[in-house]
Amino acid sequence: MARTPAGINRLWDVVPLIAADHRIAITFAVDEGSAFSRALAEELAAKGALVEQWEEAVRGEYDLALAASDNGELHRLRAPLMRLPHGVGYHRTTPDGTISGLRAESLLHEGEIVPETLVVAHDDQLGTVRAVAPELTPKVLVAGDPCMDRIRASETGRAGYRKAFGADGRRLVVLCSTWGRFSLYGKDPDLPAKVTAALPADHYRVALVLHPNVWSRHGTLQVRAWLRHASEAGMIVVPPEEGWRAALVAADVVVSDHGSLTCYAVGIERPVLIAADGGPEVVPHSPMRRLLDRLPRLDRQSPLRQQLDDTIRQGDIAGDIAESIFSRPGRAAALLRQRMYEMLRLPEPPWHAVARPVPVPAVRISEPDAFVVQAQQDGEQLVLQRFPVVPSVEERPSGYLVARDDGADPGLLERAAVVWSEENQEPRELLRRWPGARIAVCRNASGDITAELRDGTEVVAQGSVSVSMAGSVLYWWDVHNRRRQQKWHVDAGTLSLRATRPEKPRSED
């Protein structure tokens, strides 16, 4: 039974444990009583799932029912029910003050216990269940967390995930937001753009994970429109269906809130910086409350880069709190499958139940249309920092402006010191079009980078360096080093190169 995107994502961790068995046929049904369930049936059908109408499903008879939601009319299902959590533990309250995931009215119906099995991740959660409905205690299965196990099983593939996120040689900053007005994104929707603008693009990569409910509630079109300025400036928007676990594995630091991803991040010992503490939504004295009290807080009035670097240097400090959230490490798949086959009254199949690593996500990475560039020379060493220009962020570092001819705002192009184009065209034409620019840079049909300075000097550059990077280096050379040393070393984070001052006219190169 599916009701929300988060719930169906959890079911995808469990259904494969029985799906390969020829003795079992699986049907999905969507209880559309939630504001977040509107597109679930279509999404399930698109994955090839057999989907029944809810009213048909409650009239049928089944040997096992799986659900990862405590809402809806689960008592109507004519099958032994396994109720799974759709997140980590029970640390969040609902607007009416009950604990999310443990509403007594969904666990008991007219005095009868609804789930045949209630799955929890840790022994400490037994007390929480007992306080809500003591009758349920014999029905509880402490199985660990199948999602956490998959994340841990993915650690050996970290290099591949980092490559997918473009984080080779960069520090990957992952912003994670649950849903609601007390979340990271709900409290400060401009934070992703501000973080993107504050970090040099060749030294850092920024990725944003939004709770599936955000996407479901507002729609993909609206959410991507809200995030457009930051995503076009290089921020990766992780799809709601899959990719967030790979992002956590790949991360150097996680900026988060009171959502489950904070727990998963500390579960694999990633440094976490808290940007929103959940306010009244966090259950007092819960592991999440203790975690939020211990982890460092983001100060929006202080430099963001320094705080991120300090958090990385400090490392994971969750310690014993993480141990109080997850138990039975690596055993969730086996424990859950064993119980499901007991409920099905079938012997287990001969193959092992194991946690599968998560897939490498297909994410889109855009090169910014414009950079603010800072250059600092130390002998033969030139250090470049290129900060992406995010239109919605007014505060920018000092430096010279480098902008792309066919992408940047015309207002930026009019102020740009360097204009570049990926098209095969004459740099002279770019200088004519943008009279305020000092240098124009293009890539010709042979793959070489061609540039022209305002005084008519022509330069040809060879190598795999990007056109925008070449323009950034040439501006510094033209203004600060044109008549001086012959060679220098350029360090730009992910890129290290040797640059040589041209000695001959272009016709003799």
Instruction: Examine the pLDDT at 101 and tell me if it is beyond 80.
Output: no
What share of the chain in percent tops pLDDT 90?
A: 67
Model pLDDT for residues 358-415, shown as the tens digit of each residue: 999 999 999 999 999 999 988 888 899 999 999 999 899 999 999 999 887 899 999 9
Q: How many CB atoms lie within 10 A of CB 206?
A: 28
User: Quick one: pLDDT band at residue 133, thresholds 50, 70, 90?
Assistant: confident
pLDDT in tens, 444-460: 888 888 999 999 988 88
DSSP structural state of residue 278: -
**Can you give the pLDDT at residue 103?**
80
Overall average pLDDT of the 473-477 stretch: 90
More reliable by pLDDT, 241 or 293: 293
> What average pLDDT does the segment 142-170 reach?
96
pLDDT in tens, 228-268: 999 999 999 999 888 999 999 999 999 999 999 999 999 99
pLDDT at 505: 45
Decide if pLDDT at 431 tops 80. yes
100 or 230: whose pLDDT is higher? 230
Q: How far apart, in whole angstroms, are the C-alpha atoms of residue 83 and residue 69?
A: 7
| DSSP tag of 380 | T
DSSP state of 487: E
Query: What does the pLDDT average to over 202-206?
Result: 96
Q: How many CA atoms lie within 13 A of 487 on its CB side?
A: 3
Confidence grade of residue 506 (pLDDT, cut at 50, 70, 90): very low
Confidence label for 483 from pLDDT (cuts 50, 70 and 90): low
SS3 assignment for 112-162: EECCCEEEECCCCHHHHHHHHCHHHHHHEEECCCHHHHHHHHCHHHHHHHH
Mean pLDDT (the chain, rounded): 91
For the residues 52-77, what does the mean pLDDT come to? 90
- How far apart are alpha carbons 462 and 446 in whole angstroms? 10
pTM: 0.93
Q: What is the model's pLDDT at position 509?
A: 37
pLDDT at 104: 80
84 has pLDDT over 60: yes
Q: Give 323-337 pLDDT, tens digit per residue.
A: 899 999 999 999 999
Q: Are 245 and 147 in contact (CB under 8 A)?
A: yes
Lowest model confidence (mean pLDDT) among 53-57, 268-272, 273-277, 378-382: 378-382
| CA end-to-end span of the chain | 69
Angle at 254 between CA 152 and CA 90, to 5 degrees: 65
User: 4 vs 354, which has greater pLDDT?
Assistant: 354
Contact between residue 251 and residue 265 where contact means Cβ atoms under 8 Å apart: yes
pLDDT for residue 463 is more than 90:
no
At residue 501, the pLDDT reads 62
